[in-house]
A and B are shown apart, each in its own frame.
Chain A
Amino acid sequence: EVQLLESGGGLVQPGGSLRLSCAASGFTFTSYVMNWVRQAPGKGLEWVSEISAGGDSTYYADSVKGRFTISRDNSKNTLYVQMSNLRVEDTAVYYCAKGSGWYGTSYWFDPWGQGTLVTVSS
């Protein structure tokens, strides 16, 4: 069974930093694109960042570019996002999601982890 387990969320002050982790199991982690998607309280879904299977290509939403860094450790089957210069508007549940598509592509997300809450507040 594919499992994604996020950790690292919590309360942080504006301007602070936080690193989220996502431990993956049940599939060949090294073969799949991985993503972070967030959801502010009571709001919809927003894609945050993507990393290629080998980790050599990364992509970011404009709202987090220059502040967030996605990475992965394929030896540990773990995905990360380092979040810096956090803003109140970054408050959200952060989900990691496995990229799915045909022939190793990532066009949609399946499955998703259970999420970890990040609260940015003074």
Chain B
Amino acid sequence: EIVLTQSPGTLSLSPGERATLSCRASQSVGSTYFAWYQQKPGQAPRLLIYAASYRATGIPDRFSGSGSGTDFTLTISRLEPEDFAFYYCQHYGNSPRYTFGQGTKLEIK
């Protein structure tokens, strides 16, 4: 079973700063099957990045994804007030079929 570990648990930054969120897999995984989501309080998650590095429809280009193997990164180049939220990584595999990381809370400093 693949376990996804996100770090940090909480990231405190100011608008305009750069955010770097990490997701580490317990074993090497295919980047094709890797995604990132944003979730704001009281809302459903929203797909940000799929296949590790492709932005979903309507996602601003300040969001970017990278990585391969066991280490994946979500970068927000210049934080906007609306970017402060929870972020989850996710992988598609065999058992379980889908796995999520435990989440990173991005909060305003």
Contacts and interface: CB of A to CB of B under 8 A. Distances in A.
Contacts of A47: 96-100
A94 to B, nearest CB: 11
A45 B46 contact: no
Given A45-B88, A107-B32, A113 B44 contact: yes
Interface string A107-119: 1111111110000
A17 B83 CA distance: 38
- By size class, the interface of chain A is 20 to 34
Nearest to B100: A45
A45 B45 contact: yes
B3 interface: no
A26 interface: no
Contacts of B88: 44-45
B45 A59 contact: no
B32 to A, nearest CB: 7
Nearest to B6: A44
B75 interface: no
Nearest to A6: B44
Interface in B35-90: 35, 37, 39, 43-47, 50-51, 56, 88, 90
Contacts of B96: 47, 61-62
Contacts of B101: 44
B97 A110 contact: no
A106 interface: yes
Contacts of B90: 45, 108-109
Given A100-B47, A108-B35, 19 more contacts: A35-B98, A37-B98, A45-B37, A45-B88, A45-B90, A45-B100, A47-B96, A61-B97, A95-B45, A106-B92, A107-B50, A107-B51, A107-B92, A108-B47, A108-B50, A108-B92, A110-B47, A110-B56, A111-B44
Contacts of A50: 97-98
Interface in A39-71: 44-47, 50, 59, 61-62
Contacts of B46: 111-112
Contacts of A59: 97
